[in-house]
Structure 1
Amino acid sequence: MRKMHVWDENNLIDISEVDRNKVINPMLVFSIKRDGTKKCRLVARGDQQDLSTYSKDRQQDTINNMALMTVLAVALDHNLIIKQLDISSAYLYADLKEEIYIRAPPHIKQKDKVLRLNKSLYGLKQSGANWQKTIKDYLKGKCELEEMRFWPCVFTKGKFLEIIVCLFVDDIVIAGNNVNTINQFITDLQNRFDTRIVNDGSPNERDAVRYDILGIDVEYKKGVSMKFGMLESLTKKLPLLGVEFKKESRYNIVPGTPNRSLNQDLDIPCDKDYNAKVNWIQRAIGLSNYVAMKYRFDIAYYTNILAQHQLYPSDAVLFETERLLQYLWTTRGKRLVWKRNEKETSELIGLTDASHAKGLKYKSQAGYFCIWNGKKLFARSTRTSYVCESSTQSETYAASECLAISRSINYLLSTLTGKKPDQILLTDNTALINSIKGTKTINLDPDIMI
């Protein structure tokens, strides 16, 4: 921290001389990373931060998982190099404009003394936004990258596929076909930040490269396939939920009971265990939702249904939550597998479906997949935001949601590759198809093939 000039240890100030609203306590955080590395970090108690010391309007963007999956799919189909970087102590590179003091850390042994912060210490509410401005200004300035419209934290430079940079806080994934451009970019980063090459893209004895990208294990065989999984992580995290997993069980086959309604018992119980039950369900659904959004699209529907009922911990909801966890445990080794597209065609398919008025308060359940060249990029299952009057209206809701996402992905693919994919909508609702093709009552998109 001395090297980063986070504060000036030679300028200790008595706490009585500063505004108490601008003083924050420090805290030591110990953690163990996925690779076993032990880490100790001094952070600020942002939960104690006064409203006068930061702006609520400042936010930090990160790369959307859809964008990351799209970039990885493009890398597979176009035989791109993939490298992974990490910037150490990233937030401390960002200057702090606000007047904020931190109590002298224990090792300084100066009671009732404070230090004025010069840098965006971890824990401060504005640190994330400050760092993002610092890194983005550098990427767009010195590195001459261009951030994509509509897709924050995705950057490109030069010709199509020359280099694509994906930013997630202090983690960077690079894909591209120009080795010189990629190496020069890494050099430019290392000249300004403490940048470590986490993975240089070198294959193992099976001609595969193994990555840990945002908690997902990715296996990349250039020109062949890409696989996504979380075996190690799920093996560690699922037992922490306290479920006794069974090796042989009929609950291992599917993630939930088909067609079971959980809407009968929606009274909030008054028993003393209510808060504990809700907390357990929220932890369970939080983990399963993370996995479902990343790559396990097979559990998206059941996860969303349970998420709608997490404040109603009836016996049925608790049973179905445990059943979902049992299924996830048994199938924790499952991976999402992509194959490289050998054809010249480029197709972006939106596959939609919906059930009418079977959800909470008679709302419908809508779901869809976005698939590019046979690779599932994204899937979602959600309750409609309003009560649909018919099954066709429910299907229209699903199609509209899907097309909004697929149009954005279409733009991303077109910008990255220089080729606009054929956009296709797949639905089994005849009335919806006839409405789109036969009249202008429902105007979803004139360029969509139904």
Structure 2
Amino acid sequence: MSPDAPGWEHAMKEEMDSLKENDTFELTTLPEGRKTVGGRWVYALKENAERGKIFKARYVAKGYNQTEGIDYHETFAPTANLTSVRALMQIAAQNDFFVHQIDVKTAYLHAPIEEDIYLEQPEGFEETSDIGDKLVYKLKKSLYGLKQSGRNWYELLNDYLEQNNFERNQSDHCVYRKQIENETIIVIIWVDDLIIAASSEDQLNSFKEKMKSKFNMKDLGKISYFLGIQFEQKEGEIKMNQKMYILKMLERFGMSNCKPKATHSELKVECDKNEGENNNEIENPKEYRELVGSLIYAMTCTRTDISWIVSKLSQTLAKPKTHDLVAAKHVLRYLKGTADYELCFKKTDKTLSLIAFSDSDWASSEEDRRSTSGYCFSLTEQGPVISWKSKKQPTVALSTCEAEYIGLANTTQESMYLTQLLNGMDSSVYTCTTMYGDNQGAIALSRNPVNRSRSKHIDVKYHFIRDAVSEGKIHIVYCPTEDMVADVLTKSVSKIKILKFKCFLFGN
């Protein structure tokens, strides 16, 4: 549809009215020696259940024309870690918190801007001076498209929350907590979307009113959809799933009618890689990269079970071959049959505490013989997991013990991060993480500073695990291999093993 249609004209007028209402700019002549950044219209047509098609138009700056040191300086703006979102869901379910979501309308237009930036007036909305001179916009507020707009908005919101006695989390700077006697309120920021968890409705409504008095807000009520993730709240239970996202992904890549698979990959992934047609490079690797990118997002948000295969597929993005595309489509077929899998956070009788499983698969990569490490963390003995990772190790391990020891060190790093994160979110105190490993040699090595021929070459950076053990920050417990949940994160596994560990990974 052409932007000249009546619907677009109305949308553009609404955008200009919004810019004026927010006092975003002032009209002035362009100073000598300065250049305009330039602007353009961006259009979107959205579907609404009540209003049908909605025309959206936004006038944005051409940020790529900005000059560093003149038009902008710092640009970094943090976004919340999805681990924080999952941890909050478990804490909220455990403490019967009310979890709601609010959205800031035209968020960037609230934030003041320090630099002098000049913007061309949009065509059809030009104004001239009294004597007919050409005028430009001198920005007073941040505009979408500018490199520093995200940072300016974050700093404005951060200052406002701290003025209202919220404490910023030291591990995740997009998590805030406020304690008033026995009442708690936690806020997670994702650009202009805010998740609010409060111990009482009064605290929740009070915070919403304060935000509405400062910003143009839209109250979305109970959290139900956030970043492509669907949420379902019940008493003492919160669920997260990506069924809608997975179905759209299957449709996008023409796999809606595919036959489901019981596992995320073949048990012998390395077979037939160097033989026949499977060894040919893909003519158009763009689709493969888009597919893997879509799988990465599903894995990052809720799908722990596909971490290993997605990590493996990500290693072939530069020059993907036919067998890589076949493997990626195999994952889609697995997701087709397991689209209903969801993280289920439930209230438990026991106090929340960090539990971790750590595993490594020695020399699993045929190309460079490097090992793969995997770990997962939960706050309850029944699951689900709140943090996980599957990653190829940066060095070649000379033994299974060494590979497992490096894996335990990586798990310890995540444990320290989560401990600090949770102590800034929850009223409970988290001190020691119970960590399960299935290699007796690696466990012994972490407890005793022995210097044997098989371990004396191990990099010093991995030995900090011994300090964590001696200081009581982690407690490593032996776990038989058949009960090692992290096994799913280090290698291709059978349907039986996936179903066995599903209860802990997803909590149901």
Normalised to the residue count of structure 1, the TM-score between the two structures is 0.87
Q: 1:59 to 1:33 in 2, by over 3 A?
A: farther
How far did 1:394 drift? 1.5
Letter aligned with residue 264 of structure 2: P
Equivalent of 1:306 in 300, 305, 313: 313
Whether the 8 Å CA contact 2:377–2:388 is kept in 1: the answer is yes
Q: Deviations over 1:76-132 (max 9, x none)?
A: 011111121111111011112212222211231469753222211111110000110
Letter aligned with residue 378 of structure 1: S
Do structure 1's residue 144 and structure 2's residue 165 form an aligned pair? yes
Letter aligned with residue 347 of structure 1: S
Whether the 8 Å CA contact 1:62–1:153 is kept in 2: the answer is yes
How far did 1:273 drift? 6.2
Whether the 8 Å CA contact 1:94–1:130 is kept in 2: the answer is yes
What aligned pairs does 1:142-291 form with structure 2 within 5 A after superposition? 143-158=164-179, 159=181, 162-199=184-221, 201=222, 211-223=224-236, 225-241=237-253, 243-248=254-259, 252-261=261-270, 274=283, 276-277=284-285, 279-291=286-298
Q: Deviations over 1:415-448 (max 9, x none)?
A: 3223326411111111111222344664512222
Q: Deviations over 1:278-331 (max 9, x none)?
A: x21221111111111111101111101000111121111111112112222332
Equivalent of 2:348 in 341, 344, 347: 341
Do structure 1's residue 13 and structure 2's residue 29 form an aligned pair? yes
Return the alpha-carbon distance in structure 2 between the equivalents of residues 302 and 148 of structure 1: 33
Structure 1: segments with no counterpart, 5+ residues? 202-209
What aligned pairs does 1:45-124 form with structure 2 within 5 A after superposition? 45-55=62-72, 57-109=74-126, 114-124=136-146
Return the alpha-carbon distance in structure 1 between the equivalents of residues 405 and 74 of structure 2: 35
Do structure 1's residue 350 and structure 2's residue 340 form an aligned pair? no
Number of residue pairs matched by the alignment? 427
What aligned pairs does 1:427-446 form with structure 2 within 5 A after superposition? 427-439=437-449, 442-444=463-465, 445-446=468-469
| Secondary structure of the structure 2 residue equivalent to 1:341 | coil
Q: 1:356 to 1:383 in 2, by over 3 A?
A: same
Return the alpha-carbon distance in structure 2 between the equivalents of residues 263 and 176 of structure 1: 54
Normalised to the residue count of structure 2, the TM-score between the two structures is 0.78
Whether the 8 Å CA contact 2:98–2:197 is kept in 1: the answer is yes
Whether the 8 Å CA contact 1:262–1:317 is kept in 2: the answer is no
In the other structure, the counterpart of 1:449 is 475
Structure 2: segments with no counterpart, 5+ residues? 1-18, 129-133, 452-462, 477-508
Equivalent of 1:331 in 329, 334, 338: 338
Do structure 1's residue 319 and structure 2's residue 319 form an aligned pair? no
Whether the 8 Å CA contact 2:170–2:420 is kept in 1: the answer is no
Return the alpha-carbon distance in structure 2 between the equivalents of residues 61 and 328 of structure 1: 31
